[in-house]
Chain A
Amino acid sequence: MTTLKIPTPLRYYTDGQAEVTVNGPDVATAMRNLVEQYPTLEQHLYNGHGDLRNFVNLFLGENNIKDLQGLETPLNEGDTLRLIPSIAGGSDDFSRRRLKSLLQKLRRNTCSPD
C-alpha cells in the first residue's frame, strides 16, 4: 500500500481527504487505483489519450518520478507519493532543492561531534 498526498484543489474530489491509500506495484497502477476509487479525478489528471497531463508531477519521497522511471517507477510497501501541480516548471528543481537540503542535513549530522 502507498500513501498518496492530495493537493488542496483536488481534495474536493476525494471527499476532503488529504491522503489516500492506493495499491499497485508501480506508479501507473497506483494512479489508476486512485481514479478507480475517485472516478471524478480522472478528467483532472489525465488527458484524452489516457496520459497524465503534462503539468502533473508526482514525487516519490523527494524525487520526481520523471527523474526515476516515470510511471513505471516501482513502489514498495509504505512509500509516500505526492501529487503536485507544476507552477511553471519549478517541480523538477523542487526535488533537487529538497534533495540538496536533505543531503546537507545528513552531512551536518554525520560531521556532528555528537
Chain B
Amino acid sequence: MTLVNQRLLQTILSENAGLEAHVGNTPLIPLRRVIRGLSPSVSVFAKAEWFNPGGSVKDRPALNIIRTAIANGNLHPGVRLLDSTSGNMGISYATFGAAMNIPVTLTMPENASPERVSILRALGAELVLTDPLEGSDGAILAARKMAAENPDLYWYANQYDNPANWQAHYNSTGPEIWAQTGGQVTHFIAGLGTSGTLMGAGRYLREQSPAVRLIALQPDDGFHGLEGLKHMPSAIQPGIFDFNFADRTIEVSTEAAHTMILRLAREEGLFVGISSGAAAVAAIQVASELKEGQVVTVFPDAGYKYLSDKRLWEHS
C-alpha cells in the first residue's frame, strides 16, 4: 500500500497545470488600524487580488473569457484576441496570451500609466493607443470598430458585455469570500468598472444568504482619477451590469481614495492601487454605520503600477 500526501499531490498537480492554475484563492486580509473607532463587533476584510499571477483581480475574468472562447471555438489559431482596457484587464489577457500562445491586441487610452504600457509591451501585446480626451469609452469604441472591420482577424472579447466575466467571480471570488468568512460575511462592496466583480460574486453571496447586503462603489463624478472604475450614469453601460442589482451605491471622490492609499500603506503595510483606496473608503463608511458585521471588499491591485505619479505617494 502506498501512502499519498494529498497536499503535496495537489501542489504538484497545480504546478504542472501552469500559470492558469494559480489564479484565485487570494488572501482575505483584515484591516486593523484604519478602522479605529468602529464598533469592536465589526470587522473589515479586503481580498488581496494582487496575489494573482498577472497582479490584479482581472486575472479571474480574463482567464475565464479566454477558456470559454476556446471551448466555444471562438478563439482558435489564426485569430487575435481583441479588447479595450484601461490597463489591468489587458495585462491579464497578455499574461495568459503569452502563457497559452494566443496573440493579443488591446485598445487603451494614451494617457494610461507608463507602467501599464511597459508591462503590456514586455508581455508582447499589440497596443492601439486611443485619444485620451475620450477616456476608456474611446478605447471601447475603437475596439468595436476594429472588430467590425476585421472579423476574420480579431475575436472581440468584449469584457463589458461578456457573461464569462461575471461568471468568473460567481465561480471563484464569491465562493472564496463565503468560505474565508465561514459564511459570516454581512456586507460585500465592489467597485464598478465592468461590474463583473459585483455582479458575479454578489450573485453567489446573495444565493448563499439573502441577508448579505451588496454595495456598489463608483466615482463621484464622470470626470475622475479612479483608474479602472466607471461613473455609470455618464459612461457606456456594460451589458452585464444591472442597475437594480445592488442594495446601495456609494460614490467616492478621487481625493478620498488618494488619501486612503497612503493610510493603507502607512497604517496597514498594504501598498495598493487607487481603486483599492476607493474600496477601503466605501467599506469603512459602511462599517462605521454598523454595530456588528463582517464587511468584505476587493482590493484590485497593488501600488507598483502607480509609482510614476509621484504626487500620489510623496505628500504626507
Contacts and interface: CB of A to CB of B under 8 A. Distances in A.
A87 interface: yes
B251 interface: no
Nearest to A44: B223
B309 interface: yes
A54 B133 contact: no
A90 B222 CA distance: 18
What's the interface size class on B, roughly?
35 or more
Given A82-B133, A87-B109, 5 more contacts: A7-B133, A8-B134, A55-B254, A88-B225, A89-B311
- Which residue, of A44, A55, A84, A92, has the highest number of chain B Cβ atoms within 10 A? A55
B225 A7 contact: no
A90 B308 contact: yes
B135 interface: yes
Interface in B219-269: 221-225, 227, 231, 234, 254-255, 258
Nearest to A89: B309
A85 B225 contact: yes
A5 interface: yes
A50 interface: no
Contacts of A10: 222-223
B306 A88 contact: yes
A53 B305 CA distance: 21
Contact of A8 (B111, B116, B137, B255): B137
Interface string A77-114: 00000111111111111100110000000000000000
B138 interface: yes
Contacts of A47: 255
Contacts, number: 105
Given A87-B109, A88-B309, A44 B133 contact: no
Given A6-B133, A7-B135, A94-B111, A85 B258 contact: no
B112 interface: yes
Interface string B126-169: 00000011110110000000000000000000000000000000
21 contacts: A6-B133, A7-B133, A8-B138, A9-B221, A12-B222, A12-B234, A54-B255, A54-B258, A83-B133, A84-B133, A85-B135, A87-B87, A87-B113, A87-B225, A88-B309, A89-B114, A89-B310, A89-B312, A93-B113, A94-B110, A94-B111
Interface string A26-50: 0000000000000000001101000
Interface of B: 86-87, 109-114, 116-117, 132-135, 137-138, 221-225, 227, 231, 234, 254-255, 258, 273-274, 305-312
Most chain A CB inside 10 Å of its own CB: which residue of B305, B307, B311: B311
Contact of A86 (B133, B234, B307, B309): B309
A44 B311 CA distance: 19
A87 B227 contact: yes
Nearest to B235: A9
Contacts of B112: 87-88, 90
A23 to B, nearest CB: 21
A92 B231 contact: no
A67 to B, nearest CB: 13
